[in-house]
Amino acid sequence: MYSDDLFKSILTRSKVIAVVGVSLNPVRPSYYVARYLSLKGYKVIPVNPGHAGELLFGETVRASLSDIKEPVDMVDIFRRSEAVPPIVEEALAAFPTLQTIWMQIGVEHPEAAAMAEARGVTVIQNRCPKIEYQRLFGELRQGGFATGVISSKL
């Protein structure tokens, strides 16, 4: 459904990523995806009303997208599919230059996607930017530690 060229374009042009639904618990996927992206040089702005004001990856956790006062290139959504429409609406209102809405694995909302696409925003659903980054930029090695699989030759 999505081309590798599209993923590469998004991951290359995006510099500032707001992660909605990020957890401060290091075993949660939202935490380690946001951490990974920050380690790859993206400015990751965490969004979670339950942790607003706390620090994560050198950034203050914001209660909502509207609390971010700088341009954001991509909004990465770690919330249930039914929670997506108001997040997309808020993102479109808060960031006039928003380029991408990215919904994590298991998160899809065709109507919200259509709303964003009608505004010229690229939408990715049911995929993970960390996985796509690793796959496209050569960080996944079959049989190696990067995939979490230990080779039987070790």
Cα distance between residue 64 and residue 51, in whole Å: 11
Q: Where are the domains of the chain?
A: 4-141
Residue carrying structure tokens 């796509």:
132
* Tens of pLDDT, residues 49-97: 999 999 999 999 999 999 999 999 999 999 999 999 999 999 999 999 9
CATH number 3.30.499.10 is the correct assignment for the domain at 4-141: no
pTM reported for the whole predicted model = 0.89
* Tens of pLDDT, residues 27-48: 999 999 999 999 999 999 999 9
